[in-house]
């Protein structure tokens, strides 16, 4: 298999290194990532600026752009250098991407861009929980197993998946792997009043606590918080329901 690896955390992070090791025995990997961290930028792309691409090592490139830019450039501008790609893997993100995070996440945005361009893609994220240090060696084993199983699944071709790994103490066993839907509950919308800034202006800071979000039963949020690896198929199509009432012509 030929993998394209990308992320929204940049080149020198533990999650990317763990993902490289996780798929090393499955095939050849090429890394194309943003030069700097670009978390929570969603599916944004750069349209009105020149993008710089630097080859930093064999089959490794950094881009002065966003995660979706990296996927676009890898599959077009860099195609002659890196060759064809079978799967795109985005991550392993430092922090979960659950529920409505799929709309905010640069990691998921990169995977979605690959799916738009016709490739199978997986976004992978590691939940951070206060008081629990990430065990990247354990995450690496989980990621290798999940990716291998997806590659082997005939029904996973030309698909888009979102995978999250739980934050577990060393003495806690993994509950299992749950295929589950995205939670549509909102994240906590909490802001702190920082200080007034001039006439009629107010500076505020977001202070919502990730672990306080709603966890509807059997959704990805509830399952991950209960110690499961969550696997969620995402959809690109938004086909209108033909049973919806027609609209009158305004003219």
CATH of the domain at 229: 3.40.1210.10
Structural domain boundaries, residue 92? 2-185+215-234
Residue 95 belongs to some domain of the structure: yes
Residue 181 belongs to some domain of the structure: yes
Residue 178 to residue 227: CA distance in whole angstroms: 10
Least confident of 175-179, 207-211, 216-220, 235-239: 235-239
Q: Which of 33, 175, 148, 159 is nearest to 93 (CA)?
A: 33
- What the block records as the tokens of 231 is 């696997």
Residue 242 belongs to some domain of the structure: no
How many structural domains comprise the chain? 1
Count the helices and strands in the chain (H runs, E runs).
Answer: 7, 11
- What the block records as the tokens of 193 is 């009043």
More confident residue, 39 or 226: 226
pLDDT per residue as tens digits for the range 193-220: 777 777 778 888 888 888 899 889 999 9
189 φ, ψ to 5°? -100, 90
| pLDDT on residue 156 | 56
Residue 45 to residue 29: CA distance in whole angstroms: 23
Q: Is the pTM of this model over 0.95?
A: no
Residue 152 belongs to some domain of the structure: yes
Q: Please name the residue that has the structure tokens 């795109």.
A: 88
Task: Quickly list DSSP for 139-181.
Answer: HHHHHHHHHHHHHH-GGGTT-EEEEEE----TTSPP-EEEE-P
Mean pLDDT calculated for residue range 234-248:
70
């Amino acid at each position: 298999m030929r993998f394209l690896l990308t992320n929204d955390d940049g080149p020198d992070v533990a999650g990317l290194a763990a993902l490289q090791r996780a798929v090393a025995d499955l095939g050849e990997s090429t890394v194309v990532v943003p030069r700097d961290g670009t978390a929570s930028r969603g599916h944004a792309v750069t349209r009105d600026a020149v993008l710089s691409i630097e080859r930093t090592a064999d089959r490794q490139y950094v881009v002065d752009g966003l995660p979706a830019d990296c996927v676009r450039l890898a599959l077009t501008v860099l195609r002659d250098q890196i060759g064809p790609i079978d799967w795109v893997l985005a991550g392993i993100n430092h922090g979960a991407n659950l529920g409505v995070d799929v709309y905010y996440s640069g990691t998921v945005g990169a995977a979605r861009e690959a799916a738009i361009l016709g490739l199978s893609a997986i976004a992978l994220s590691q939940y951070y929980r206060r008081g629990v240090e990430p065990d990247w060696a354990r995450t690496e084993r989980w990621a290798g197993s999940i990716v291998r199983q997806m590659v082997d699944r005939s029904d996973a071709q030309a698909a888009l998946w979102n995978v999250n790994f739980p934050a577990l103490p060393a003495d806690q066993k993994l509950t299992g792997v749950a295929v589950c839907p995205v939670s549509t509950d909102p994240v906590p919308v909490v802001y702190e009043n920082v200080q007034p800034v001039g006439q009629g202006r107010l500076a505020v800071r977001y202070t919502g606590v990730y672990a306080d979000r709603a966890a509807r039963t059997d959704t990805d949020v509830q399952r991950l918080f209960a110690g499961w690896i969550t696997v969620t198929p995402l959809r690109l199509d938004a086909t209108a329901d033909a049973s919806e009432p027609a609209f009158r012509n305004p003219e």
